[in-house]
C-alpha cells in the first residue's frame, strides 16, 4: 500500500462500503484513512466506533488485495480521520483474467441524486467502460472525481428490465468529443450476475 491508495472499506454489521483515501502509514502499527463526505456516510456513521472490525480491499497493478482489520481510534477535527490496525496479512487475487467484450448498451450512472445518461462500450464480469457526450452533462462532469460510489443501470439484449449494480468509479477521461468512466462492479444481485455471465458467454468471454 502507498499514500493515496483508495481503500474500499466494509464495516462489520453493514453491507455498505465506503471509498476512503489512505493518507498515512506507520508500518506494523496502523493505517490512517480519510473518510468521504458526510452525505455518503449517513447510513454507517454510527458504526464507525473504536473496536469495530472492518474488511478493506484495494487495487494495485491489476491485482485486488484485501485484509481484515479493526478500528483503533477516530478524530473528527479538523478532518474526519480513522486509524485502523495495520493488517497481520494481506490476501490477493488477479482480476485481469476478466475478458472485456466490446458492446453498445444503453446505460445510466447515478451519483448521489444526479443521473448521467450514456452507454456502456465494453463490459466484463468485473466492470465496464461507460461513455457520455460531455456537452450534455457539462455541469455534472465538472463535479466528478475519482472513486465516487455509484449505481449503474444498463440493458442487455433480449432483457426488458433495467439491470442495476452498485459500483465504484475508478477512472475518468474527459475530452471535447465525449467522456468515459472506468467502473468497477462492487455489489451485484445473483440474478443480474447470471444474466451478465450469460451475455458474456454468448459473446465469447
Sites in the chain below the pLDDT cut of 70: 15-16, 36-46, 61-63, 93-98, 134-148, 175-177, 205
Q: With CA atoms as reference, report the closest residue to 72 among 55, 88, 49.
A: 49
CA atoms within 13 A on the CB side of 85: 16
pLDDT at 32: 95
Could you tell me whether strands 149-154 and 127-132 are parallel, antiparallel, or unpaired per DSSP bridges? unpaired
CB-count burial class (<10 Å; 0-12, 13-18, 19+) for 152: buried
Is the dihedral angle over the CA atoms 13, 19, 21, 26 positive or is it negative?
positive
Per this entry, what is the length of the chain?
205
Task: Tell me if residue 177 falls in helix, strand or coil.
Answer: coil
pLDDT at 94: 56
pLDDT at 39: 45
Angle at 180 between CA 176 and CA 185, to 5 degrees: 170
Place of cell 452507454: 119
Could you tell me whether strands 53-60 and 179-187 are parallel, antiparallel, or unpaired per DSSP bridges? unpaired
Q: What is the four-CA torsion angle of 4, 187, 42, 112, rounded to 10 degrees?
A: 80
pLDDT digits (tens, 9 = 90+) for 49-99: 889 899 988 877 656 788 999 999 998 888 889 999 999 999 876 555 567
Identify the helix (H) or strand (E) that includes residue 190.
Answer: helix 190-202
Amino acid at each position: 500500500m502507498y499514500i493515496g491508495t483508495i481503500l474500499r472499506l466494509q464495516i462489520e454489521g453493514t453491507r455498505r462500503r465506503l471509498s476512503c483515501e489512505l493518507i498515512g502509514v506507520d508500518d506494523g502499527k496502523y493505517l490512517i484513512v480519510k473518510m468521504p463526505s458526510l452525505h455518503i456516510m449517513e447510513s454507517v456513521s454510527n458504526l464507525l466506533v473504536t473496536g469495530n472490525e472492518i474488511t478493506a480491499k484495494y487495487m494495485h497493478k491489476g491485482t485486488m488485495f484485501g485484509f481484515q482489520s479493526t478500528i483503533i481510534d477516530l478524530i473528527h477535527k479538523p478532518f474526519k480521520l480513522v486509524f485502523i490496525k495495520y493488517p497481520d496479512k494481506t490476501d490477493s487475487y488477479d482480476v485481469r483474467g476478466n475478458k472485456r467484450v466490446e458492446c453498445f448498451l444503453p446505460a445510466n450512472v447515478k451519483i448521489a441524486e444526479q443521473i448521467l445518461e450514456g452507454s456502456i462500450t465494453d463490459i466484463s464480469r468485473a466492470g465496464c467502460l461507460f461513455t457520455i457526450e460531455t456537452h450534455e452533462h457539462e455541469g455534472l462532469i465538472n463535479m466528478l472525481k475519482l472513486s465516487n460510489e455509484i449505481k449503474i443501470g444498463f440493458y442487455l439484449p433480449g432483457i426488458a428490465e433495467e439491470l442495476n449494480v452498485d459500483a465504484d468509479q475508478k477512472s475518468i477521461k474527459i475530452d471535447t468529443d465525449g467522456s468515459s468512466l472506468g467502473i468497477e462492479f462492487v455489489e451485484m444481485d445473483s440474478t443480474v450476475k447470471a444474466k451478465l455471465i450469460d451475455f458474456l458467454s454468448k459473446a465469447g468471454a
